[in-house]
Chain A
Amino acid sequence: MNPAWKRIIAGSSIRTTLLRAALLAVITWLLFTQVLTVCRLDGASMEPTMKNRSVRIVNLLKYKKNDPARGDVVVISPAGRRVYYLKRILGLPGETVGFNAGQFTVNGQPQEEPYLTDRGDWNMEPAVLEADKYFVAGDNRAVPIERHLIGIVSREKIAGGLLW
């Protein structure tokens, strides 16, 4: 009979325990490379909705079948999987988007943005979004538009959405 400490670490059979550990490692690896990823925000672009340096979990499968909707917070992958941009979808393909003294418009119609605490005073001439192009911005409208990473992103660059 195995001593108690051995049974706790290795179970009744070392072989079975090793197999279970290997299976768990593979599942964990798949989960955190193909399904989920953990990100730490670096920057104030999404404040006050999301605090700088807060930790978030991204669902990499969220837009595999469905397209992003207006108001969704998405992660945008510039080149790989270590750095992402976190932005909110404001405009959808085919729409004409613009800002007038902080008021966001789609096809000339003012849009409500309940997630904002300060609408700011951004101005942007109407821009037409081509097919597969989305208009994105952060929630921090207190930052001057010149210093805010805002603009048009291709569908293929949207890598996932926020899970939490």
Chain B
Amino acid sequence: MVMVSPRNLIVIILAVALTAVLAFYFIGRDERQILRRQRDLVERLSKSGPEKEIGALTRAQEISSFFNDEVVLDLKPYLSGAHGRRDLAGLAYHFRGMVEELSIEMADHKLTIAPDRRTAVLVAVARAKAKYSGEWDQDLREVEMRWAKTEKGWLISSASFTSAIKRPEGL
């Protein structure tokens, strides 16, 4: 039978706890960063009421900072094509200016990081509610975001709508 003194037991517990903390910090670091970036982006896209011009411009600038220098979007019917970061800031400013209120929720995240940990794919379901001219409209979409690790952290390199239900060709 192995006898462990109370002092040794405390050391063992501390060592196990430290290993667990370090493992949590290093192993899940990229995952946590990407999910936090995605939450921050959703928060900045949302709008709870009228905004001052300078606030709206700042928000648009912040939104564009989540994207790579060149980003490919396939978010029909809202947005598609290749866009630069400055271009995106303009689009974000214009789009947010069109709505009185906008709330976005993301659920069912599925994140896959490439073995080299330089790129990642995040699939989630997005539910957006927007108020135009006093009327609420809503949309539910599956979104696939591709992320790339850069000097500025994880940035979105492309985003597209996907669907578990595929429309037959020509429909």
| B165 contacts A80, C-beta separation under 8 Å | no
Map CB proximity to A onto B101-117 as digits: 1 under 8 Å, 0 otherwise.
Answer: 00000011110000000
With A83-B107, A83-B108, A83-B127 known to touch, is A78 a contact of B168 (CB < 8 Å)?
no
With A83-B127, A83-B140, A124-B171 known to touch, is A151 a contact of B109 (CB < 8 Å)?
no
| B165 contacts A151, C-beta separation under 8 Å | yes
| A152 contacts B140, C-beta separation under 8 Å | no
| B125 contacts A79, C-beta separation under 8 Å | yes
Q: How far is the CB of A139 from chain B (nearest CB, A)?
A: 15
Does B170 make an interface contact (CB < 8 A)?
yes
With A79-B142, A80-B108, A80-B110 known to touch, is A149 a contact of B165 (CB < 8 Å)?
yes
Residue from the set B127, B140, B169, B170 with the largest chain A CB neighbour count within 10 Å:
B140
With A78-B125, A83-B140, A149-B163 known to touch, is A125 a contact of B168 (CB < 8 Å)?
yes
Question: CB-CB < 8 A to A81: which residues of B?
Answer: 108
Question: How many Å lie between the Cα of A76 and that of B164 in the bound state?
Answer: 8
Does A39 make an interface contact (CB < 8 A)?
no
Question: CB-CB < 8 A to B169: which residues of A?
Answer: 127
| B170 contacts A82, C-beta separation under 8 Å | no
| B125 contacts A152, C-beta separation under 8 Å | no
Question: How many Å lie between the Cα of A63 and that of B99 in the bound state?
Answer: 42
| B165 contacts A150, C-beta separation under 8 Å | yes
Map CB proximity to B onto A71-89 as digits: 1 under 8 Å, 0 otherwise.
Answer: 0000011111111010100
Does A136 make an interface contact (CB < 8 A)?
yes
Does A162 make an interface contact (CB < 8 A)?
no
Count of chain B residues with a beta carbon within 8 Å of a chain A beta carbon:
19
With A77-B164, A80-B107, A81-B108 known to touch, is A125 a contact of B170 (CB < 8 Å)?
yes
| A80 contacts B125, C-beta separation under 8 Å | yes
Question: CB-CB < 8 A to B108: which residues of A?
Answer: 78-83
Question: CB-CB < 8 A to B140: which residues of A?
Answer: 42-43, 83
For B162, the closest partner residue in chain A by CB is A78
For B122, the closest partner residue in chain A by CB is A79
Contact for B164 among A82, A85, A127, CB less than 8 A: A85
With A83-B107, A83-B127, A83-B140 known to touch, is A78 a contact of B171 (CB < 8 Å)?
no
| A80 contacts B109, C-beta separation under 8 Å | yes
Question: CB-CB < 8 A to A83: which residues of B?
Answer: 107-108, 125, 127, 140
Does A56 make an interface contact (CB < 8 A)?
no
Interface residues of chain A, those whose CB is within 8 Å of chain B, are 42-43, 76-83, 85, 87, 124-125, 127, 136, 145, 149-154, 157
User: Would you give 22 A-B contacts (Cβ < 8 Å), ordered by A?
Assistant: A76-B165, A77-B164, A78-B108, A78-B125, A79-B110, A79-B123, A79-B142, A80-B109, A82-B125, A83-B127, A83-B140, A85-B165, A127-B168, A127-B169, A136-B165, A149-B165, A150-B165, A151-B163, A152-B167, A153-B164, A153-B166, A154-B164
Interface residues of chain B, those whose CB is within 8 Å of chain A, are 107-110, 123-125, 127, 140, 142, 163-171
